[in-house]
Every structure is written in C-alpha cells, then in structure tokens.
Structure 1
Amino acid sequence: MAVLQPLIDLVALCAQQGIQHAVISPGSRSAALTLAFARSTHIKTYVIMDERAAGFIALGIAQQIKAPVAIVCTSGSAAYNFAPAVVEAYFQQVPLLVLTADRPKEWIHQQDGQTIYQNEIYGKHVKKAYELPADYTHPDAQWYINRTVNEAILASMAFPQGPVHINVPIREPFYPEASEAFVPTAGLRKVSRLTTEAVLSVDTWHELLNEWDESERILIAGGQHGADKDLNQVLSHIAEELHVPILGDVITNLQGNDWLISKQDLFLGQRTDEDLAPDLLITFGKSFISKNLKLFLRANPPLRHWHISEEQNLIDTFQTLTTQVPVSPGYFFAKLFEDIDYQRFVQNLDGETDDTYAEKWLWMNRTATRLLMEYLRLQTELNELTVYEKVLEALPDGSQLHVANSMPIRYVNMLGVGQRNTEVFTNRGTSGIDGCVSTAVGAALVNEVPTYLIVGDVAFLYDRNGLLLEEFPANLKIIVMNNSGGNIFRMIDGPARQPELEQYFETRHAMKAERTAADSGILYASVTETQELAGAIQKLVESKQCSLLEIFTDPETNTRIFKGLKEYIRSNW
C-alpha cells in the first residue's frame, strides 16, 4: 500500500460517485491529493494558482453540470481564500467538494508555517464539515475515511445542494516514491443514497385549492431559477387560461413567456399601487432583484402567501409568508394547473375567469416597456443604458449570459433579454462583486455554448486572477463596462450626497482591461464613441476566439440618463 493510500482511494471514490471535474491550486502539503487527481483518468483537472478564483471557477462549472466539483488547496490561508466562493455556493445551493490539506493539529501555535485552525473553517456556510484522521494505518481509520468521503459527496448532492468541506491533515512524507503506484484499493466501497420526490397529500391539495378559490386576486412571482422549459410552459398556461399574472426578474429565466411581467422595477412606485396588491401571493425560486417589488409587497401584504420550496429554512423575503409548500415548483404548478383546469371543466366554468386583475398588471408592464423604448430612442450620447440595450439585442439565440452584480444586473433586469433562448446567470447568493469573472470562465469551460459576461470595471479588476489560465475557452466573450469606478454609488442617494463620493465610494481610477487581456492572450477591442458601438459588438459576436470588448462611458452621463429614465416614466405615465 502506498504511504497515502487512503488519499488515492479518496480520489477514486470521487470518480465513482460521479465527480468529473477538479480545480486545483498548487501547494506542497496538498501534493498527495493533487497527484491523485492529476493521475486519475476519470476526472478532468484545472490548475488555478489563486484559490479565490479557483473556487469561483469551480462554482461556474458546478452551476452548469448541476453536480459536485472538487476544489483542492494546500494548508493555511489558502483555505480561507476559498471562502467567498464557498459562501456563494452555500446560498446559491451549488454543490462543491472542498478539500483542504492541513498539517497535523498538534503543530498549531508552534510557529510552524501555514498552520492555522482549519477544521470547520467555513462555519455555517457549508452543509457539513468533516476532518479526516492524520494517521491512516489503522483499519478503523481507513473505514472512517471511506465512510466520510461517501457521506460528504452524497451530502453535497442532497437537496438543497451545496458545498461540503473535508479537512485533510497530512503527515510527511507526502511525496510518493518513484516505485509507488497510484492504484486504488481493490473493492473500494461506494455508498449510494436513493432519491425521493416530495408530493402533497390529497387533503393538503384540497386545503390549498380552497384558499385559491377564496382569493380574487392571485399573483405568482419567481425569484432566481434555472431555465426550465416545462415550468415555463405550465406558467404560460396558468397566465393565459386562468388569468393569473406571472412576475419574474430576468434571473427567473422565463424568457419567451409572452405573459411574463418583467418591468416591475420601472412601474411599481410610480403611482398608487394598492389595486395591484394580491390576496394570494405564490412565490418560488431564490433571491429577487427588484427592490421596488419588495417594497411594494411589504407595504401591501397579501392575505395569504405560499412559498414553494423544499428548503428547511423559512424564506420570508416579503415579510408576508403564511405557508411554505415543501415541493418542487415544477411539480406544484403542473399539479395546480391540472386540478384547477379539471375543476373548471367539471363545473363548466371555461371562459368565466375574471381577467381584470391580470390585465392591470399586463397594462402596467406594457406601458412601462413602451416608455422605456421611447426614452432609449431619445438618447444620442454614449451611455450605459443604451450600451446594455445594444449588447442584449446582439446576443445570439441559445447563448448564455453571465452578469456581474452591482449596476450590470440591474440594467439587464430592467431591459431584459427579450424572446431569446438565453439563460441568465448571476451570483445572487450573496450578491458580491467578487468572482463574477471566474464563474463565467468556469461555465464556459464546460457548457459548449456562446457564453457572454457583462461586468463592470471594478468587478473585473477585482477578479482578474480568474484569467490566469493556460488556455481560454473560445466560446467566452467578455464585455467590460468601464466608467472609471463604482458608478452605482452615484445612483444611490446616500453616498451620492457625500463630498467623499469619488475617493471613498466610487474609488475612481484610470485603469483599463487592455493589458490584462494582452497578458492572457485574449483578443481585445475598445469603444469610446457611439458610432463605434454596433460594429464592435458585431465583431465580438462573430469572433472565433475568446474576446474582450471594453466600453468606456462617463459616470456623470450614466447617472443623469439612468435617473432621467425614472423621471421620464413618471412624467409620461
């Protein structure tokens, strides 16, 4: 048996459990793990020197394949640098297997390098934390390691998916001799866990249907959710045939749904909204972008609020929750529509549903859309709002769009991606700006579709180490919106009024993405004038290699035009 045979077996077990990708950050203490992954013929490895970027690249891969991705680092502060990605994965429910090499704990506080408290280092931000024994020779230790690795991988995949952490203390020697063969133990034990599907009893359905029948005004609102054609279709049927308004942010991924209410941030708060208040609110998905929707529902609470989620935590974003329904949205809405449609058929109620409430929402959405388009046609200066419109119009059908936090996701949510078959991703688990470049890189490495990233200059600069790759996926196209600082702080009244705005909030700078692109071998182009924009976007779309387009805008112009949109809608309503 090799000196560190259980670690060879750990990697073999990862492969048996279906892990196909591992992102590795170089280090010495982690050598045995690294070599075991590198020599595996079943797991594709990626070497990323910066642990923070490595974690987000793994997150991007896991988002796409909906299965765990392993991340490996050495001991000490390297493990802490995984933390931002681990936290995002936890709240976004993305499965990661976090493997941190460690020194034996008796060396803590002995002035030995790269030795810190690593066990449970991520606190409550992992589904479960494990620590392997430092000595592997006893049969019980080997059994424990096998059981722990099986349990950890299964835990990452169980609903809700998320990161798990295995801390791996490793004694020297941890580099193999030339004579050692990296061969898994014969008969390695893989443990499986059967899956079940949550359903509701007949009595429970009757109770819910009674509440539905007692509600005159019903609103369905979706938060962040992966693209799901079946769910989108059944929600279209509910909207069209039952006259129930369906509302969603761009990250709800209901693109192509003709009945979708998506301009809520533009019209809520523009006038008295009480006539839009629902009696029954039904929500699904994760986080909501629209602040105006949150304010509206908190100010106009429904009589009943069902949240469709199998989570154990009570999700009460709008402070109105009355019932958490612990099933999947796909099952719930399909069953709901089937039962109500049958009930209407039996009672001969076809065509008798009142559409007044739904029509109010649809009228508001159509009006806001029309005023938005009118305002955009009036703009002649190069500014972010019209740039985003042109970029979104140019996205090819079937592409993926990754959007950074701060202003980019707000612009994209306001404008939408139209009827295209385009799935939108953004890290709204914690809504930080860190890792957005790396996440898109990870996605493009495995998704095999045109992948676009829209990112602000600060978020791009913050995550440049995500571009420390040997070879870039040719399907990745990056659009950097450079306004020389954190422009969102000009949009927010509080910081915008402060004399320290530019230095302490916007952090104004004169940096560009050009040198970063050159260092990484990425094709670069820039835009500074309106007349250059359309051609540059077209070249980006047509490029056959990884490309970056940097668009320079003036922050004061951006602020004036963004705030002018709200005023235009208000004055022309």
Structure 2
Amino acid sequence: MSKPISDKPIVKSLVELCHLHGVEQVILSPGSRNAPLIISFTGCEKFECLSITDERSAGYFALGLARETHKPVALVCTSGTAALNYAPAVAEAYYQQIPLVVITADRPKEWIHQADGQAIEQPGIYHSFIRHECTLPLSGGHADDEWYMNRILNEAFHKCKGVHPGPIHINVPMREPLYGKTVYPDKPARKIELLTGDSRLSEEAISTLTQEITRYERVMVITGAMHHQPQLKAALDALAAQGVVILTETLSNLDGDHFIRNMDRVVATVSEDEQLFFSPDLLITLDVPVLSKMVKKIIRQRKPHLHWHFSNQTHVTDTYQSLTRLIKGDAAHILQQVAAGMEPREKRFSDTWTKRAAQAAERHEQYFEKLAWSDLKLFRLLSRTTLPRLQVHLGNSTPVRYAQLFDWQKGLTWYANRGTSGIDGCVSTAAGAAYKAERPVLLVVGDLSFFYDSNGLWNNYLPANFRIMVINNGGGGIFRFIEGPSDTEELEQFFETRHSHNARGIAETFGLDYIACRDEESFSSSLATFFEPSEKPRVMEVFTPNVENGKLLKKYFKYLNNQL
C-alpha cells in the first residue's frame, strides 16, 4: 500500500487479508469509531468501496451482491447499535450460506458499561448466525499480536468460504486518536492456504445407496431455493428417466422437462384419501429450504420408509421428521452415480404424478376464464407476458407464493430471501444483486415489504435497468389467506396493518421513475413501457383489491380440488 492509510497496524493487516482472501467489494457505513477502517479500505486501490448509510440496508445489499458474485463481500460499521442493524442480513446469509465479512469497530473493553457513547457488548452479538467470530487485539504493537491476529483471521476467512460458506464477524476495538495516517513499508500480510479434497463417497457407499433406491418404486426428490446447477439438473434428469418423481419450485431454478413444477398447484388436488398414492417410500432432499407447506404436511403425515438428506452442515436437519440417512458430499455427483447404477423400473409412481399435474394445469387454466382483477390475475398476466431475460427477485410473503403457482418462460432466474423468510430486506438484497448482475433485475414485492425496506433505494448504486413492481393491496395480504388471523377481529389493525399509503413519494424522493396501475387494462398496457430502456430505475405500483385477494386465492385451491 503506497498511499497513506490508518496508522493502526491491526487495521492494515486486516485490510490486506481481506484482499488476499478474495474480498473485492466493501460496503462502508459512516461513523467515527470505524474511521481507521474507512481510511484504509478507501486508501487501498484493490477494493471497490460503496457507501450505504443505513446499516440494515447495507447488510442486505451486501448479501445480494455476494450471492450474485459468489465472492465474499465485506461490511464495515461503527460501534454500538450500528452493529446490531446488520443482524437480520447476517441471519439470512447464514441460512442461505452466503459469505459476508462483517467488520464492526468497537470501543476498548475497559469502556464497556461505563456510560460511554456507542459502547455495547459487541463480541458474540451474532453468535448463533455466523461461521466464525473473533475480536482482534487492541494494540497491534507487539509481534505476538500480529501473529495471533494473522492466525485467527486466516481461520475466519476459511470458515467464510468453506464447504458450507456463510458470514463471519470480526470485531475491531480501537482507541483514539482514530484519524491518524501513515505510509507502511511494502510487507504483505501472510495468507495461510487451505487445501481440501473433493468430497466423494466410496464405491461401497454408492452401492449401498443404489441397492436401497432399487428396493422402492415410489421415490421422490424435493428441491427448494437454490442457484441454477447444471450438474444437479443432469443428475435429476437421469433419476427422472428412471421414474423418480422430481418436485421443484420456481426458486429451484431447475427447468427439467420431466420435473413436477408448481408443486403446490398439484398437491392441492390430492385428497386425504389419495395421499398414500402420492407419498414416497424413499424421500431424497437437499440442504436448501422448501417453500411448500402442503408438501411438508403430506410427508410428515405419511412418513417415508427411508429419507436421504444431502448436507455438509454440522447440524442435522430433519424437516420431515423421517430422516434415516445423512449424506455428506457432492449431491450432484453422488446422485448421478446412483442413477447410472439403477436397473430399468416401472414408472407407475411418476405417471401418477404426471397425470395429476396435467389435470391440475387444466383446472388452473379454467379458473382464470372469468377471474376478476386481483393479485392472482396480476401474476397470471405477468406469467403470460414475454419478459426480457431477467433475474427475478420475489418478496416475502405472498409474491413468492403466488409465483409458484404459474408456469414461466425459460431463461429467467429466481431468488428470494428464504433463509429466514423475513420481509425486512428484499429491496436492499435485490438492489445489491442488480448492482453487479449481468442481466436486468426485477423485484416483485408487496406493499408492506417495500415500505419496510424503502431505504434500500437510499444509495447511489441502482442501475437504470433495475425494475420494482410493488403490489399494493392495502396491507399484509397473506393474513387474509392463512388460517387463524383471517378469522380474528384484530385482523385489519394488528395482522394485516391496513393502510392507504402509496409508493409515489418514495420513488420521487430517491429519483426513480414511477408508474401506477389500478386495473387489468392499465396493468397490461403499461408492462411494455415498464421494461423499456430508461435513464433511471423504475417503479410500477399495482393496486389490487384488499379483501377479495384472500377470498379468490382460497377459492382457487378449492377449485383445484373440485370443491367448487
């Protein structure tokens, strides 16, 4: 580093190790205690430094950016509650296995609990949601301090980017003065390399799995939210050719011709008396979250004889309360070997699912013949529109569920914050992804989620091709659909949080183009304009009826099941 940077040696080493371990982007939030970090990161030409004021939004922006680039992104904030504001994004990154390097400036330990400003207990604040945490030594003036810090930081970065990546927390206590600068001699930090082998099962283990899967005709794979994985798709295609039922969701980013997509749409048609015919004897799952509550309910009620779960996590995940075999290794490679070893078999189970999927699709189409303007109709029209080659982000709670019910053109990629399934950072996450995405990003989001995270627009890094579709139905629409809240007198005020706000002012405040649609005709006619090239990002706010949405969705599922 030839430019003047912070005169604190600990900070110099931290910055250098960030670079050596693959950090390219650093999200900085303003503060004083983190001044040495700001000075050093911005003084190093090896990083792209972005400034985002709101730490909660900055955390989600970094999450979207890291998910898009597949590289660790660093977050830097001042001490006190600033660090706590990262917590929601840290938790989401943990469950999505996304590498974040969370760097929090801190007061010296002796000033904690001494009525000093911006001083809280920061070590351990993310303890349950990180891969590694450490607090750096305060002085950095002794050779042992440098050696100790180097060792713990190398360990932290290896945990951040390991077999199951995720966020790490580096707490950096610093004494004043904070703004001193110096030029250091050219002596780079020491990087400790980590070599790992390819995790493959033995021939004996593969033989055991092949024998197990051969014993059962009714075999099912359920996939949830994940990046597109060509090798996994090839393995699942091979299994599908052997009569294995492959259930996917929109967020699975798997578009095999013989997969059962829209699983909720199909499962909704299965009566209680029919569940046995649609339940697997051998269930295979991956280490990704599955959205469908309907599928989970059926399998928990009709537990399979065997359940394989592929996971490289340290904890045991037993979502369906039926786990019999935990498999660590490359799921795509292992399943490809198992499929290659299977003998030709009857496909009665997959035929049962395929026929029911066709019936569900037919009922699905019939329901929309005379459907009034609503959330469902909006998604119907959007799914039948020829869209640009988009990356689509879906907000929690209703948008991600509506999208699963429809067939979409191939070539789109789909994302949502389903690690913890919160509504609090969807705008910021999509903005972070849009900043580095190779294709335009569309965020489809509900009104409450949009208002909650509107600070996600409070930055200078929104590309002109970023599009946000806000579905404004005057409140939390999901609470008119799920059992419980919809039948309570507290629904509108405390669950749904009924409102009459709109997004126009927010769009204007942050300099975005704005379009409003209030019915089917205006929505259909505005879609082409919405996706046209523009000089600024664009918000389309679509108003739908508040009370009718929940009723129509309930009727939809009843219609699928021939109850209407």
Normalising by the residue count of structure 2, what TM-score does the alignment of the two structures yield?
0.96
Tell me which of 387, 395, 412 is aligned to 1:404. 395
Q: Could you tell me how far apart the structure 2 residues matched to 1:298 and 1:409 are?
A: 23
Give me the CA root mean square deviation. 1.6
Identify the residue that residue 262 of structure 2 maps to in structure 1.
Answer: 263
Would you say 1:421 and 2:388 are equivalent positions? no
Tell me which of 334, 337, 350 is aligned to 1:335. 337
Report Cα offsets for 1:265-289 as digits up to 9, x if no partner.
Answer: 1332541211112111111141111
Tell me which of 474, 483, 495 is aligned to 1:493. 483
Comparing 472-481 and 98-107, the one that deviates more: 472-481
> Post-superposition shift, 1:558?
0.9
Q: Could you tell me how far apart the structure 2 residues matched to 1:294 and 1:485 are?
A: 28
Residues 403-552 of structure 1 mapped to structure 2, 5 A cutoff? 403-416=394-407, 418-544=408-534, 545-552=536-543
Give the AA of the match of 2:346.
D
Identify the residue that residue 348 of structure 2 maps to in structure 1.
Answer: 356
> Post-superposition shift, 1:448?
2.1
Identify the residue that residue 222 of structure 2 maps to in structure 1.
Answer: 221
In 2 relative to 1, CA 138–500 (structure 1 residues): closer, same or farther, beyond 3 Å?
same
How many percent of aligned residue pairs carry the same amino acid? Answer: 37
Give the AA of the match of 1:201.
S
Q: Could you tell me how far apart the structure 2 residues matched to 1:158 and 1:215 are?
A: 35
Contact 2:6/2:36, CA 8 A, preserved across alignment: no
Identify the residue that residue 571 of structure 1 maps to in structure 2.
Answer: 562
Report Cα offsets for 1:450-507 as digits up to 9, x if no partner.
Answer: 1110110000000011111124212311000001111111112311111111111111
Residues 109-258 of structure 1 mapped to structure 2, 5 A cutoff? 109-177=113-181, 180-181=182-183, 183=184, 185-239=186-240, 241-255=241-255, 257-258=256-257
> Which consecutive unaligned segments of at least 5 residues does structure 2 have?
none
Comparing 556-565 and 476-485, the one that deviates more: 556-565
Give the AA of the match of 2:324.
T
Report Cα offsets for 1:322-347 as digits up to 9, x if no partner.
Answer: 0011112221222222233xxx4xxx
Comparing 226-235 and 56-65, the one that deviates more: 226-235
Q: Could you tell me how far apart the structure 1 residues matched to 2:210 and 2:57 are?
A: 48
Contact 2:443/2:469, CA 8 A, preserved across alignment: yes
Contact 1:394/1:541, CA 8 A, preserved across alignment: no
Contact 2:150/2:190, CA 8 A, preserved across alignment: yes
> Post-superposition shift, 1:264?
2.6
In 2 relative to 1, CA 398–195 (structure 1 residues): closer, same or farther, beyond 3 Å?
farther
Q: Could you tell me how far apart the structure 2 residues matched to 1:73 and 1:186 are?
A: 27
> Post-superposition shift, 1:15?
1.2
Give the AA of the match of 1:43.
F
Contact 2:67/2:98, CA 8 A, preserved across alignment: yes
Tell me which of 100, 107, 111 is aligned to 1:103. 107
Q: Could you tell me how far apart the structure 1 residues matched to 2:157 and 2:340 are?
A: 37
> Post-superposition shift, 1:572?
6.9
Normalising by the residue count of structure 1, what TM-score does the alignment of the two structures yield?
0.94
Tell me which of 367, 372, 376 is aligned to 2:359. 367
Q: Could you tell me how far apart the structure 2 residues matched to 1:519 and 1:330 are?
A: 47
> Post-superposition shift, 1:69?
0.5
Structure 1's consecutive aligned runs of 4 or more residues displaced over 6 angstroms after TM superposition are none
Q: Could you tell me how far apart the structure 2 residues matched to 1:393 and 1:186 are?
A: 59
In 2 relative to 1, CA 494–192 (structure 1 residues): closer, same or farther, beyond 3 Å?
same
Q: Could you tell me how far apart the structure 1 residues matched to 2:357 and 2:185 are?
A: 60
Identify the residue that residue 309 of structure 1 maps to in structure 2.
Answer: 311
Report Cα offsets for 1:487-535 as digits up to 9, x if no partner.
Answer: 1111123111111111111111111111111111111101002111112
> Post-superposition shift, 1:397?
5.2
Contact 1:394/1:538, CA 8 A, preserved across alignment: no
> Post-superposition shift, 1:86?
0.5
Contact 2:16/2:188, CA 8 A, preserved across alignment: no
Q: Could you tell me how far apart the structure 2 residues matched to 1:484 and 1:185 are?
A: 59
In 2 relative to 1, CA 327–419 (structure 1 residues): closer, same or farther, beyond 3 Å?
farther
Report Cα offsets for 1:541-565 as digits up to 9, x if no partner.
Answer: 2233411100001111211211111
Q: Could you tell me how far apart the structure 1 residues matched to 2:387 and 2:335 are?
A: 30
The secondary structure found in structure 1 opposite 2:157 is helix
The secondary structure found in structure 2 opposite 1:148 is helix
Report Cα offsets for 1:131-150 as digits up to 9, x if no partner.
Answer: 00111111111122222222
The secondary structure found in structure 1 opposite 2:405 is helix
Identify the residue that residue 299 of structure 1 maps to in structure 2.
Answer: 301
Q: Could you tell me how far apart the structure 1 residues matched to 2:82 and 2:397 are?
A: 27
Contact 1:12/1:184, CA 8 A, preserved across alignment: no
Identify the residue that residue 392 of structure 1 maps to in structure 2.
Answer: 383
Q: Could you tell me how far apart the structure 2 residues matched to 1:66 and 1:281 are?
A: 30
Tell me which of 9, 14, 18 is aligned to 2:13. 9
The secondary structure found in structure 1 opposite 2:484 is helix
Tell me which of 22, 26, 32 is aligned to 1:22. 26
Contact 2:435/2:461, CA 8 A, preserved across alignment: no
> Post-superposition shift, 1:231?
1.7
> Post-superposition shift, 1:20?
0.5
Contact 1:220/1:281, CA 8 A, preserved across alignment: yes
The secondary structure found in structure 2 opposite 1:333 is helix
Contact 1:263/1:369, CA 8 A, preserved across alignment: no
Contact 1:22/1:43, CA 8 A, preserved across alignment: yes
Give the AA of the match of 2:258.
W
> Post-superposition shift, 1:439?
0.3
Q: How many residues align?
A: 556
Identify the residue that residue 90 of structure 2 maps to in structure 1.
Answer: 86
Would you say 1:55 and 2:59 are equivalent positions? yes
Give the AA of the match of 1:362.
T
In 2 relative to 1, CA 408–269 (structure 1 residues): closer, same or farther, beyond 3 Å?
closer
